[in-house]
């Protein structure tokens, strides 16, 4: 069920009404309502994979009970078993074919005959997200951040809460589970903010991201016949498409969660205003980068040991992050590019320069230095996005080569037949609105005057309805 579909516009008010007006007297029944609604939401995609979600939930619920053992050696054994079980399920469905193909290719190169079996099945939607939910539960219990829960319904809501289920944010057990377990009351102001976030998220997805998609598809499908300027504009457009698409989903998820009394983790904090790659990763897909920091980077030693170990750990989390997105060398290269961009900051101890301060925090406009920093960071990120979008290493390199060759072989044609200029109709307003909102991603600023405010709401709704059509899936559903 898509957030931008008619089915969801019927589903959400129905669940909201049952949750607050029918089952409001019992927390247990409210949670059961959320769990059943979440399973229905997921089963709408494929009832076949709903069983996999339930099995994963039962496994981690059981492992969590054993990981809570007071005997640390026994607890560690169950932690390892739990993590390996999750990785086995994820690896089977998401990575098996990749490794089987690479094994076959290596065997051919070495002169061996192989005939590996490939799985003929679709990737279960959201498997990377709800698997990481489950692993965070056993990790948090082992590290003493969360106690094992005794109610399987409460735990099931944490894993399968429908706004987060298929594309995050990736929640932590110690953050969301306590909210599931305590009574919740309806808060009008929170609900209003939730509706604003849903509206803004739909606007980013439907009006901006989906409108950019045709031009982007044209560029990336016919890149060998286009000039360098068109290819550069196509890469820039994709940078804003994926941002509008994924942050739009996250805003809808955050807003929907507010409607049900939950405060979930932020996932985007205006990443394209970042002044270096380190800041970018504190602002882009925050829930994933912090998950890897908490459960991989720090257990590996983080930055507390030698510089060499710190560099090793940094490359590990960036490469693993790339591989998390998909079973392809292009995703690994995407992560590696970010690792190399991060490396100078790490070597010169500049990786925490911009931790809490917002660009141009006390000014309306950035300084020249900040503009240069933001543009150089965006350039690196956009080059990396080419590998992400192509999802094929050879094609990605050909795309970049076509840009370069176009500049020195056919400079006279650089501005010929550039049809992608229409992307700026969407990109420039997007940048300006983000700049206005940049200080707080959770509380959207709206005009104080009620006439202006409602005029803005009506305009956004009309634009969404005008652009709505085709029920375009969200990009991150494939991960």
**Which tens digit of pLDDT belongs to each residue from 33-77?**
999 999 999 998 778 889 999 999 999 999 999 998 878 889 999
Residue 420 pLDDT exceeds 80 = no
* Whether 422 contacts 208, CB under 8 Å: no
Residue 262 pLDDT exceeds 90 = yes
**402 vs 399: CA distance, rounded Å:** 5
Helical ranges in 143-204 per DSSP H: 152-160, 173-181, 188-202
Mean pLDDT score, 119-131: 84
pLDDT in tens, 140-171: 999 999 999 999 999 999 999 999 988 879 99
**65 vs 206: CA distance, rounded Å:** 43
Spell 44-54 as b/e; 16+ CB within 10 A means b: bbeeebbebbe
**pTM exceeding the 0.85 threshold for the entire prediction:** yes
pLDDT for 177 equals: 95
Q: Nearest CA to 149 among 267, 31, 1? A: 31
Residue 117 vs residue 9, higher pLDDT: 9
Mean pLDDT score, 102-128: 80
Q: Nearest CA to 314 among 302, 323, 304? A: 302
pLDDT for 272 equals: 96
186 pLDDT band, cuts 50/70/90, is: very high
Q: Nearest CA to 55 among 9, 136, 108, 124? A: 124
pLDDT for 442 equals: 80
pLDDT in tens, 188-224: 999 999 999 999 999 999 999 999 998 899 899 988 8
pLDDT for 412 equals: 58
**49 vs 63: CA distance, rounded Å:** 21
pLDDT for 416 equals: 61
* Whether 273 contacts 354, CB under 8 Å: no
The distance from CA 12 to its chain's CA centroid, rounded to whole angstroms, is: 22
Q: Which residues contact 246 (CB under 8 A, 6 or more apart)?
A: 167, 267, 268, 285, 474, 475, 476
Q: Would you name the residues annotated as active-site residues?
A: 325
Residue 121 pLDDT exceeds 80 = no
Work out whether the CA dihedral 386, 390, 396, 402 comes out positive or negative.
negative
Mean pLDDT score, 268-293: 94
Give the tokens for residue 145: 């951040």
pLDDT for 169 equals: 92
**403 vs 422: CA distance, rounded Å:** 20
E-state strands within 336-409: none
Residue 348 pLDDT exceeds 70 = yes
Residue 470 pLDDT exceeds 70 = no
């Amino acid at each position: 069920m898509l957030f931008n579909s008619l089915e969801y516009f019927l589903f959400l008010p129905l669940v909201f009404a049952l949750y607050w007006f029918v089952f409001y007297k019992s927390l247990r029944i409210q949670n059961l309502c959320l769990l059943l609604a979440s399973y229905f939401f997921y089963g709408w995609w494929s009832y076949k994979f709903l069983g996999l979600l339930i099995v994963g939930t039962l496994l981690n619920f059981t492992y969590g009970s054993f990981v809570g053992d007071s005997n640390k050696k026994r607890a560690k054994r169950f932690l390892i078993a739990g993590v390996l079980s999750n990785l086995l399920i994820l690896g089977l469905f998401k990575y098996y074919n990749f490794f089987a193909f690479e094994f076959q290719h290596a065997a051919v190169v070495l002169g061996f005959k192989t005939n590996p079996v490939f799985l003929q099945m679709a990737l279960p939607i959201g498997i990377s997200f709800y698997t990481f939910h489950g692993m965070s539960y056993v990790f948090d219990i082992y590290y003493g951040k969360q106690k094992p829960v005794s109610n399987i319904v409460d735990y099931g809501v944490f894993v399968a809460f429908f706004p987060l289920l298929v594309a995050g944010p990736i929640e932590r057990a110690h953050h969301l589970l306590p909210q599931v377990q305590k009574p919740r009351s309806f808060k009008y102001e929170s609900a209003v903010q939730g509706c604003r976030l849903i509206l803004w998220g739909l606007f980013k997805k439907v009006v901006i991201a989906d409108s950019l998609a045709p031009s982007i598809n044209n560029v990336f499908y016919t890149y060998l016949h286009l000039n360098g300027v068109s290819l550069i504009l196509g890469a820039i457009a994709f940078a804003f498409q994926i941002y509008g698409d994924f942050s739009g989903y996250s805003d809808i998820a955050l807003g929907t969660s507010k409607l049900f009394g939950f405060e979930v983790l932020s996932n985007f904090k205006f990443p394209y205003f970042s002044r270096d790659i380190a800041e970018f990763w504190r602002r882009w897909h925050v829930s994933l980068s912090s998950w890897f920091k908490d459960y991989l980077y720090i257990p590996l030693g983080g930055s507390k040991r030698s510089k060499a170990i710190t560099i090793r750990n940094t490359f590990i989390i960036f490469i693993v992050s790339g591989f998390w997105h998909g079973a392809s060398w292009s995703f690994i290269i995407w992560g590696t590019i970010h690792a190399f961009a991060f490396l100078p900051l790490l070597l010169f101890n500049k990786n925490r320069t911009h931790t809490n301060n917002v660009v141009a925090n006390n000014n309306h406009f950035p300084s020249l230095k900040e503009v240069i920093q933001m543009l150089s960071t965006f350039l690196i990120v956009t080059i990396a996005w080419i590998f992400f979008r192509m999802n094929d290493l050879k094609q990605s390199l050909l795309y970049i080569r076509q840009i370069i060759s176009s500049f020195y072989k056919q400079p006279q044609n650089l501005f010929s037949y550039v049809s992608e200029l229409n992307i700026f109709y969407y990109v420039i307003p997007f940048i300006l609105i983000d700049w206005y909102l940049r200080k707080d991603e959770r509380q959207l600023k709206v005009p104080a005057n009620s006439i202006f405010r409602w005029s803005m709401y009506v305009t956004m709704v009309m634009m969404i309805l005008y652009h709505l059509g085709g029920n375009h899936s969200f990009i991150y559903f494939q991960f």
